[in-house]
Amino acid sequence: MKFNIPADVPKNKVAFYKRNLKAVTNGKNRLMLFAGDQKVEHLNNDFYGKGIPLEDNSPEHMFKIASKAKIGVFATQFGLISRYGRDYQNIPYLVKLNSKTNLVPYEKQDPYSEAWLSVGDVVDFAKTSGLDIKGVGYTLYLGGEHEHSMLAQAARIVHEAHKNGLLAVLWIYPKGAFVKDEHNGHLIAGAAGVGAALGADFVKLKVPFNKKENFDVEALREVTTAAGRSGVLCEGGAKVDEKTFLTELYEQIHKGGSRGNGTGRNIHQRALKEAIKMANAIYAITCEDATVKEAMKLLK
Amino acid sequence: MKFNIPADVPKNKVAFYKRNLKAVTNGKNRLMLFAGDQKVEHLNNDFYGKGIPLEDNSPEHMFKIASKAKIGVFATQFGLISRYGRDYQNIPYLVKLNSKTNLVPYEKQDPYSEAWLSVGDVVDFAKTSGLDIKGVGYTLYLGGEHEHSMLAQAARIVHEAHKNGLLAVLWIYPKGAFVKDEHNGHLIAGAAGVGAALGADFVKLKVPFNKKENFDVEALREVTTAAGRSGVLCEGGAKVDEKTFLTELYEQIHKGGSRGNGTGRNIHQRALKEAIKMANAIYAITCEDATVKEAMKLLK
Amino acid sequence: MKFNIPADVPKNKVAFYKRNLKAVTNGKNRLMLFAGDQKVEHLNNDFYGKGIPLEDNSPEHMFKIASKAKIGVFATQFGLISRYGRDYQNIPYLVKLNSKTNLVPYEKQDPYSEAWLSVGDVVDFAKTSGLDIKGVGYTLYLGGEHEHSMLAQAARIVHEAHKNGLLAVLWIYPKGAFVKDEHNGHLIAGAAGVGAALGADFVKLKVPFNKKENFDVEALREVTTAAGRSGVLCEGGAKVDEKTFLTELYEQIHKGGSRGNGTGRNIHQRALKEAIKMANAIYAITCEDATVKEAMKLLK
Amino acid sequence: MKFNIPADVPKNKVAFYKRNLKAVTNGKNRLMLFAGDQKVEHLNNDFYGKGIPLEDNSPEHMFKIASKAKIGVFATQFGLISRYGRDYQNIPYLVKLNSKTNLVPYEKQDPYSEAWLSVGDVVDFAKTSGLDIKGVGYTLYLGGEHEHSMLAQAARIVHEAHKNGLLAVLWIYPKGAFVKDEHNGHLIAGAAGVGAALGADFVKLKVPFNKKENFDVEALREVTTAAGRSGVLCEGGAKVDEKTFLTELYEQIHKGGSRGNGTGRNIHQRALKEAIKMANAIYAITCEDATVKEAMKLLK
Amino acid sequence: MKFNIPADVPKNKVAFYKRNLKAVTNGKNRLMLFAGDQKVEHLNNDFYGKGIPLEDNSPEHMFKIASKAKIGVFATQFGLISRYGRDYQNIPYLVKLNSKTNLVPYEKQDPYSEAWLSVGDVVDFAKTSGLDIKGVGYTLYLGGEHEHSMLAQAARIVHEAHKNGLLAVLWIYPKGAFVKDEHNGHLIAGAAGVGAALGADFVKLKVPFNKKENFDVEALREVTTAAGRSGVLCEGGAKVDEKTFLTELYEQIHKGGSRGNGTGRNIHQRALKEAIKMANAIYAITCEDATVKEAMKLLK
């Protein structure tokens, strides 16, 4: 595997950066990101209710999955990592640096999600705690009065991560009153380009839809090309059946040029054993070159 | 008692953190928080008026109670602690770092409560003054244009507290024009999850209500599970009769899974002797495994 | 006299703090504050116009009074002190750290008055200039979108003042579209409690009125009790005849429990000699236990 | 000449401050300020168009005038000084620290003009470049939602200037929807008082008008007295004929008590030779005790 | 070539500044800036669609052009440089420090584009990476509620660049509800003057139009004179045919007094070979004194 090392990774951090990138991608340059930041983003909606097993209501459910399944990184907030980290030291963590709730509709107030802590805090924390922190994540919303502030924070975070040999993943979503269709491929390609201009290692994006609101593979190719050397992670979205999910994931990677996925609900909204299997199946396609068929076998 | 030590408490502060946690919970991992921050939050409404003894109007009333009753911590603003602290050195304090007044309705302007001082100031103050400061507190309001700023301050405060071996308690309330029912259990569970994602030791929340506006124990179980390793403190609320109060408290803990309570008016809106007895009764249920009957005896 | 030393005054500053407090209160624990910050607060309205002697138009008029009359402190802005200080070195100064103009009505834009300089600047200035600076002052307006910022600045200023052995006086006024009656005693008691929670040494407040818009002594007792160990200074207000003024001042102190007054216009809107006498009379009642009759004699 | 040295000029800077004050006032304590900050304030309106010589369109025109005429200081932005300074080393500069354009009417958005650089930057620049920098300037607008921020910046700038022995000139203008008549003398006197409270060495103000919109000398006396020890500079305003200009200037100083003037357009909107003569004439009245007649001779 | 060295370039950086200026202008004091910041400014509109070759969709297309064509500098965001820099070390880079998307119309929200990183970050990056960074760029929009902030950032950036011997290019555009015609020559001359007041080395501006919306050479002369010693770069704009483009460029320089151009779409919206030829032709006119005819030959 040939690595693309950003020029802002200093010499004495290149080996550490490579190690991190290789570890989280299984040497395939593709990332399976287990997304666990919804306790803030969606409040308790994703964790309690019809069709969700009761055990998902406890934050520990995700830690159990992350510690027993094959994953690239488990992305969640600093506070959860600090409360469960001592008991789950084998998990490769990605610290999601910001989050906001869903109480206010995007059309009513332009969204603003501010970094809770700095990359420096994360670097110190990794040292102090001995936890295996591979990188940091940050969500930015394009198209509102706070865009400038989130762009500046994102650029700072990516750069500080690289200076410390860590990976930086950006979640980028155009939002607000002036955004008509957030699944429009050309718009998502624009978001991908923003991620590239920010120097992100990976960019988590919405999936482009065709007019029938189905995944549009051609549009995804525009997106992944526009992203340049920043790998595109397709959003997992709401829970669907396993085969549909895995087939789409396979096509995103092998036809659309995506370099991984960020999946939360499709994993943790299952009982522990099932969740682990599903994570393993996703990992197999993303990082072990498995076919859909091979991945489906892992679910049994 | 097994302690859950957050991973951001550094090695050389773990013993101090444990000591603080054990002290304020009587080794039961449950917290009786005597809430005394209403001089700002409610101006003089809670301290002077019909049914309130005249002595409650002086801030010293609360210090007298806190120094003579059994409590976990007395939570109040820095300035009051600085003015009375030299005369009340035996009180275990929790410095409430922010407060706002109630002059502007939540629906008219999104609430913003900014930290008055930093955790660093508190740490230095503890050293300089020799006072027994166990932790810090911070209120955040979810669902408005200042949410981002309060989330960031809360995360910073929890992390800095832990780095110094102190406890961090968050008051978390969804508020504003987009919040329809702040006693909705699912919404409060969301707030609990935010507290967990912020790494709080304890989260003070509204009590979930059923449709008849009574305490809903099942809903509280959703809340306390969603909070993970952050202990839920139920808000004491307006003054009610002793038996009702203590019975509900007992159920919150033993049926709902709460890990304590934050009570102000139900204690300080009584003459000194009565207030001390009431505090002791609350403490007995929260931290001494008392039954309601046993607690009621302490009132006599 | 027994001093209440705030716990955030460090050991090596306690003697200096005591000296300052004793000096400005004449050992009576009551403060006569000569308020000279209106050049900004009221622009030139208080200094030029019908019934105001021409000499009051020059800022030096107030320095002359302050240097020749008995006063506790002369409160004015840093810039005026810096321009006149070398010629008026005997004045005990209180640096008013913020001010705003009256051009915009409170109902049209929520007021915001930001600190111009820090307590650190004042401490350095005292050293460099050798001037006799006893403390600092800050105005905060409760009840608007900038309340959070002024509360945080006020807390910082009080704490930094104490750390340096200086006194801190807060002017606290509920203001804005949601404040219906700023002379309501219960509301003013709330403001007093805020001052206490901020740890202020003295709080300058509006005078509570009864329904006939006269001074309400009973309401003042609610206020001064709610203020705890922070001394209440009643606002001097617009110019009235001497006897009325002094009688009310006497009652505020001896019946209402106030611990001083903040007077500007009732002093400086007189020719120099008369102004000095009036200041002395106010001082006599406030800090020398004089009766109204005794004070009136000083005017002759 | 007796100097008024502000008390915040430290001992080791007093001699430098005196030298600066003496140099720019020709020992007369009055300042002729050649105002050259309109490239931003008025965009290109003052430099190109009907009645303006073509050479005024190049910024160098002002540098040529400033280097050949008698002036107190040439006030312009840092960037222009940095681009022309190496070729015009004999000019006494005053760095205008802020500026805003005139694109948005004052009534539509409350004006905010932020400092571009700090006094510290200017001090370092003076050292590095060897240029003759006498002081700094800052414009503040009273009466809008940004007043607080500009007041704080102005206070900081005046104090930092004094700490470094530099002069500080403030341009102070009440503006915005709540200001009805910006030539009202009583209002301008208020602005003068604000300048005094900020400790400015000189305050540049609008000229007070009578009801016929002519210069009102009596009103100016209210203004200059209210300014205390801060010298009032009358704004030069739009170009008028020489005699009118110089006569008014003479009266402002000798009848109205102003201590100088800030003139731009009436100088630079002339061909080089004429501009130099006009500057010299203004200087003669301001700093050489010339009569109008004597000054008029210099124009020939 | 005689260099205009800004006075804020310190002695020990003058040689480096001269080297940078000479290199990027080919010793002709004119700059050919290859503009590649549109991935954010225009999202993916400039890179994918009708009439745009597919290869332009990958950010690497611009790096290939920049590394093989003659250019002054390649201006793009930090993140893209960090991701491609190790493979394109021969490119002279200009780090564009800010960018915003085009999602919100200028009339709906006043535009604000904040610097993503500081000049200090760029200086450190140049050292760490060994890349050939010649300068920095920043866009500011005049005429809205964020003007003050962008003016302050621009001034800071120009000054910090000079202190480090780097060039500073400003993109200056009046925008917003109060700007009626952004191709008005007098308005653009105002923007040029702002650039001069900020001390920019080069200012990228809109092209002034006459009433028929064609390039107005006389108006450009007002602009370039008003810019003083800051060189005016005319915006390349949307793609047009080669001859039209080059002829206009020639006239801008030789008749209008511009000192270069900033061109993006007219270069990168071509297949690699054609793009390189077009860049070389632009360079020939700008920096090699070529005629239009000579430049046209290079396209064959």
ipTM: 0.96
- Contact residues on chain B for C8, CB-CB shorter than 8 A: 78, 82, 125, 128-129
Distance CA A32, CA A66 (A): 12
In chain A, pLDDT over 90 holds for what percent of residues? 95
**What's the pLDDT tens digit per position in E5-32?**
999 999 999 999 999 999 999 999 999 9
Backbone angles phi, psi at C246, to 5 degrees: -70, -35
Question: What's the burial of C191, exposed, middle or buried (CB within 10 Å: 0-12/13-18/19+)?
Answer: buried
Partner residues linked to B172 by β-bridges: B140
- Contact residues on chain B for A105, CB-CB shorter than 8 A: 178
DSSP state of C6: -
Is it the case that residue D246 has pLDDT exceeding 90? yes
Q: Binning pLDDT at 50, 70 and 90, where does residue A236 land?
A: confident
C84 touches chain D (CB under 8 A): yes
**What's the pLDDT tens digit per position in A55-82?**
999 999 999 999 999 999 999 999 999 9
Distance CA D160, CA B16 (A): 44
Going along chain C from its start, the domains and CATH numbers come out as 11-297 (3.20.20.70)
The amino acid sitting at C34 is: F
DSSP secondary structure, E194-232, as one string: HHHHTT-SEEEEPPPB-TTSSB-HHHHHHHHHHTTTSEE
Is it the case that residue A278 has pLDDT exceeding 70? yes
pLDDT at E212: 86
CA distance E231 to chain A (A): 27
Note whether D178 contacts C103, CB cutoff 8 Å.
yes
Residues 6 or more apart whose Cβ sits within 8 Å of residue E200: D79, E154, E158, E168, E169, E170, E230
D121 touches chain E (CB under 8 A): yes
Mutate to test the interface with C, among D5, D148, D167 (most CBs of C within 10 A): D148
> Of D47, D49, D114, which is closest to E152 when you measure between CB atoms?
D114
Q: What is the mean pLDDT of residues A136-140?
A: 98
Beta strands in chain B (DSSP E): 31-35, 73-77, 93-96, 133-142, 167-174, 202-205, 231-235, 260-263
Distance CA D110, CA D176 (A): 6
**What's the pLDDT tens digit per position in E164-196?**
999 999 999 999 999 999 999 999 999 999 999
Q: What is the mean pLDDT of residues A260-273?
A: 96
pLDDT at C239: 79
Hey, how many other C-beta atoms are within 10 angstroms of the C-beta on D149? 17
E80 touches chain A (CB under 8 A): yes
A111 touches chain E (CB under 8 A): no
Catalytic residue among B39, B64, B70, B204: B204
Distance CA A235, CA A171 (A): 9
Q: What is the mean pLDDT of residues B123-145?
A: 97
pLDDT at D248: 95
Tokens, residue E19: 């080297």
Distance CA E138, CA E122 (A): 13
> Of B78, B101, B129, which is closest to C155 when you measure between CB atoms?
B78
pLDDT at A96: 98
Alpha helix segments (H runs only) across A111-216: 119-129, 147-163, 185-197
Distance CA E231, CA E287 (A): 13
D239 touches chain E (CB under 8 A): no
Residue D270: which of D284, D280, D260 has the closest Cα? Answer: D280
Residue with tokens 């009578």: D210
In chain A, pLDDT over 70 holds for what percent of residues? 100
Note whether A8 contacts E59, CB cutoff 8 Å.
no
**Which residue in chain D has the smallest CA separation from C42?**
D190
Residue D30: which of D296, D264, D258, D265 has the closest Cα? Answer: D258
pLDDT at A55: 97
**What's the pLDDT tens digit per position in D81-119?**
999 999 999 999 999 999 999 999 999 999 999 999 999
Partner residues linked to B234 by β-bridges: B205, B261
Distance CA A178, CA A144 (A): 8
- Asked about E173 being catalytic, the answer comes back as yes
Distance CA C171, CA C166 (A): 16
Note whether A155 contacts E44, CB cutoff 8 Å.
no
- Contact residues on chain C for B60, CB-CB shorter than 8 A: 228-229
Distance CA A243, CA B274 (A): 66
Is it the case that residue C37 has pLDDT exceeding 70? yes
Q: Answer left, alpha or beta for residue E70, where phi above 0 means left and psi between -120 and 50 means alpha.
A: beta
**What's the pLDDT tens digit per position in B9-24?**
999 999 999 999 999 9
Beta strands in E100-166 (DSSP E): 133-142
> Do the beta carbons of residue E199 and residue D78 sit within 8 Å?
yes
B76 touches chain C (CB under 8 A): yes
In a 13 Å sphere around the CA of C191, the CA atoms on its Cβ side amount to: 31
**What's the pLDDT tens digit per position in E96-143?**
999 999 999 999 999 999 999 999 999 999 999 999 999 999 999 999
Element holding E282 (H helix, E strand): helix E272-287
Q: Largest alpha-carbon pair distance within chain D? A: 52
Q: Binning pLDDT at 50, 70 and 90, where does residue B237 land?
A: confident
CA A137 to chain centroid: 8
**What's the pLDDT tens digit per position in A181-215?**
999 999 999 999 999 999 999 999 999 999 888 89
Distance CA E100, CA E111 (A): 8
Partner residues linked to C205 by β-bridges: C234
Is it the case that residue E1 has pLDDT exceeding 60? no
Tokens, residue C297: 């004699």
Is it the case that residue B1 has pLDDT exceeding 60? no
Q: Binning pLDDT at 50, 70 and 90, where does residue C184 land?
A: very high
Distance CA D188, CA D24 (A): 25
Element holding B175 (H helix, E strand): none
Note whether D197 contacts C79, CB cutoff 8 Å.
yes
Q: What number of C-beta contacts closer than 8 Å exist between B and C? A: 144
Q: Binning pLDDT at 50, 70 and 90, where does residue C1 land?
A: low
Classify the C-alpha dihedral E154-E155-E156-E161 as positive or negative.
positive
Q: What is the mean pLDDT of residues D262-288?
A: 97
In a 13 Å sphere around the CA of D137, the CA atoms on its Cβ side amount to: 27
Tokens, residue A68: 């027993």
Tokens, residue E161: 């660049």
Tokens, residue C250: 């006497």
Question: What's the burial of A51, exposed, middle or buried (CB within 10 Å: 0-12/13-18/19+)?
Answer: exposed
A neighbour chains, 3+ CB pairs within 8 Å: B, E
Residue B39: which of E298, A215, C229 has the closest Cα? Answer: C229
pLDDT at D1: 55
Residue with tokens 């002519």: D214
Secondary structure (3-state) at D275: helix
> Of B145, B174, B226, which is closest to A47 when you measure between CB atoms?
B226
Classify the C-alpha dihedral E157-E158-E160-E166 as positive or negative.
positive
Distance CA A289, CA A246 (A): 13
pTM of the model: 0.97
Question: What angle, rounded to 10 degrees, do the helices at E217-226 and E185-197 form?
Answer: 20
> Do the beta carbons of residue D119 and residue D164 sit within 8 Å?
yes
Q: What is the mean pLDDT of residues C14-23?
A: 97
Tokens, residue E256: 């209008």
**What's the pLDDT tens digit per position in B193-223?**
999 999 999 999 999 999 888 899 999 999 9
C243 touches chain B (CB under 8 A): no
Distance CA D267, CA D278 (A): 6
Q: What is the mean pLDDT of residues A76-102?
A: 98
pLDDT at C240: 85
**Which residue in chain B has the smallest CA separation from A95?**
B197
**What's the pLDDT tens digit per position in B247-279?**
999 999 999 999 999 999 999 999 999 999 999
Partner residues linked to E167 by β-bridges: E135
Mean pLDDT over each residue of chain B, to the nearest integer: 96
Mean pLDDT over each residue of chain D, to the nearest integer: 96
